[in-house]
C-alpha cells in the first residue's frame, strides 16, 4: 500500500498539486523540491509568485515543518527561490539556462533511462511513457 499526502499550491488563478509518497525511498524534502522545481520550469509558478508558508504546507501535507524548510532551502541554493525571513518564499527571477555541459547531459540521459526502467517494471506501457514524455516536452515548449 502506498500512502500519499497532497495539497494544492494556489497562485492567483492557478493551482497545482504537491504529493508526498511516504513509502518512497526518495526523502520527502526532495519530493517537494523536485515538484516545485518542475512547476517553476514548466511556468506554472512564475517569478514573484509566493509559496505557501512552511508551517501551513507542512500541516497540509502532514509532515514536519523542517522537511518543507529543507526543500525551500534546497531550491534557494539552486537560485529558484528567494527566502526572506518573516516574509516567506517567492519564486526568484529565473535567468535563462546556460548551455549544459556534456556531463550534465549524460547524467540526465542516465537518470531518464533509470526512471523509464522503473515505471516499466511498475506496469506503464511504452505508449503511456511516450505520451507522458511528450506532455513534458510540450510543457517546456509552451503554448
> What is the average pLDDT score of the chain?
84
Residues 28-72 pLDDT 10s: 999 999 999 999 988 889 999 999 999 999 999 999 999 999 999
For helices 65-77 and 28-41, the axis angle rounded to 10 degrees is 50
Q: Which domain holds residue 24?
A: 4-91
Q: pTM of the entire structure? A: 0.68
Domain total in the chain: 2
Same-domain check for residues 68 and 117 = no
Tell me: do 73 and 39 sit in the same domain. Answer: yes
Both 40 and 87 in a single domain?
yes
Q: What is the CATH number of the domain that holds 30?
A: 1.10.10.10
Task: Work out the burial of residue 38: count CB atoms within 10 Å of its CB; fewer than 13 is exposed, 13-18 middle, 19 or more buried.
Answer: middle
Q: Taking 80 as the threshold, does the pLDDT of residue 73 lie above it?
A: yes
Answer yes or no: is pLDDT of 142 > 90.
no
- The tens digit of pLDDT for each residue in 86-116 reads 888 999 986 555 666 788 888 889 989 999 9
| Residue 107 host element (H or E) | helix 102-121
Amino acid at each position: 500500500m502506498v500512502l500519499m499526502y497532497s495539497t494544492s499550491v494556489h497562485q492567483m488563478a492557478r493551482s497545482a498539486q504537491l504529493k508526498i509518497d511516504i513509502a518512497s525511498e526518495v526523502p520527502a524534502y526532495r519530493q517537494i523540491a523536485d515538484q516545485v522545481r518542475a512547476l517553476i520550469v514548466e511556468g506554472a509558478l512564475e517569478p514573484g509568485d509566493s509559496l505557501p508558508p512552511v508551517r501551513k504546507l507542512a500541516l497540509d501535507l502532514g509532515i514536519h515543518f523542517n522537511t518543507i524548510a529543507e526543500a525551500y532551502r534546497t531550491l534557494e541554493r539552486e537560485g529558484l527561490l528567494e527566502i526572506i525571513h518573516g516574509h516567506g518564499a517567492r519564486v526568484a527571477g529565473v535567468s535563462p539556462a546556460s548551455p549544459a555541459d556534456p556531463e550534465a547531459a549524460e547524467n540526465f540521459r542516465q537518470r531518464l533511462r533509470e526512471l523509464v526502467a522503473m515505471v516499466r517494471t511498475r506496469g506503464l506501457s511504452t505508449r503511456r511513457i511516450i505520451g507522458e514524455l511528450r506532455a513534458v516536452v510540450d510543457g517546456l515548449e509552451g503554448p
